[in-house]
C-alpha cells in the first residue's frame, strides 16, 4: 500500500506585475518576486490547490505604462510550489487539534477533518481539554501529536485566502494511528505463523 508523503508539485503560472515608482531603483526580479509572494503565497487556487511558495520568476524587462499611473506593468512567468490533495490518496499526518466532533489532521500545509464517525467501529469519547479521543472497547487513543495514516475522502477548494475543506477517514484496514497499524501488522503476522504451524 503506497503512502503519499507529499502531494506537492511545481506549477507554472503567468501574470502581470505592477511595479510602483518607489521600487524603480531595485532589481526587477526581486521586486517581481516580492509582489508575487504577497499575491499568491498562502492562497488557494481551485486548479492547483494550496499555493505554498513562489520559487522562480522570469520577468519581462520591458514594461508598459498606463496613462495616469506612474507604475510600470511587466509580464511575468513564475513557478509555484503547490499542494493538491487528491481524493482516495493515502497520506500520513499529525493530529493538531481534538474537538467534540473529531480531530484535525495536519497534512502538508492544510488541516483535514477526521470526524469521530470516520475513526473506527467503536464508541468514542472526546476529551477536548486533554486533547485525547478514547475508544471504549479497544481502549485505543488518538491525541494531539499522534501520527496517523488516513485516506482523503472529500476535497473542496475555495479561491484566494478562503479555507479549503478536506475530509479524511481511517476506517479501513491498516489506517489510523501508526502504533495501531504496527500492532495490527504484528497480530496478523502471529496469526499467519499459528496457521502455518497448525497446517503442519
The per-residue pLDDT for range 127-180, each reduced to its tens digit, is 999 999 999 998 999 999 999 999 999 998 876 555 678 999 999 888 999 998
pTM for the model: 0.78
Name the pairing type of β-strands 110-115 and 165-169: parallel
Q: What does each C-alpha distance from 89 to 1, 2, 194 come to in angstroms?
A: 11, 9, 34
All structural domains of the chain: 8-83 (3.30.1490.120), 90-194 (2.40.50.140)
Nearest to 150 by CA among 97, 82, 103: 103
Q: Which three cell numbers stand for residue 177?
A: 494511528
How much is the pLDDT for 94? 96
For residues 76 and 161, what is the distance between their CA atoms, to the nearest angstrom? 22
**List of the chain residues with pLDDT < 50:** 1-5
Q: Three cell numbers at 30?
A: 526581486
Specify the pLDDT at position 41: 93
- What is the reported pLDDT for 200? 64
Amino acid at each position: 500500500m503506497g503512502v503519499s508523503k507529499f502531494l506537492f508539485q511545481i506549477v507554472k503560472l503567468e501574470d502581470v506585475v505592477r511595479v510602483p515608482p518607489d521600487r524603480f531603483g531595485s532589481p526587477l526580479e526581486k521586486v517581481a518576486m516580492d509582489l508575487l509572494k504577497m499575491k499568491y503565497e498562502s492562497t488557494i487556487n481551485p486548479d492547483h490547490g494550496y499555493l505554498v511558495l513562489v520559487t522562480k520568476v522570469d520577468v519581462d524587462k520591458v514594461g508598459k505604462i498606463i496613462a495616469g499611473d506612474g507604475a510600470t506593468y511587466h509580464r511575468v512567468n513564475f513557478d509555484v510550489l503547490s499542494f493538491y490533495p487528491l481524493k482516495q490518496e493515502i497520506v500520513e499526518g499529525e493530529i493538531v487539534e481534538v474537538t467534540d466532533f473529531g480531530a484535525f489532521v495536519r497534512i502538508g500545509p492544510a488541516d483535514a477533518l477526521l470526524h469521530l464517525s470516520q475513526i473506527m467501529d467503536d464508541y468514542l469519547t472526546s476529551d477536548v481539554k486533554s486533547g485525547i479521543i478514547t475508544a471504549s472497547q479497544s481502549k485505543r487513543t488518538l491525541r494531539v501529536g499522534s501520527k496517523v495514516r488516513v485516506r482523503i475522502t472529500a476535497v473542496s477548494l475555495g479561491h484566494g485566502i478562503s479555507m479549503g475543506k478536506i475530509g479524511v477517514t481511517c476506517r479501513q484496514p491498516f489506517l489510523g494511528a501508526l502504533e495501531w497499524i504496527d500492532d495490527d501488522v504484528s497480530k496478523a503476522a502471529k496469526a499467519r505463523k499459528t496457521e502455518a504451524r497448525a497446517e503442519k
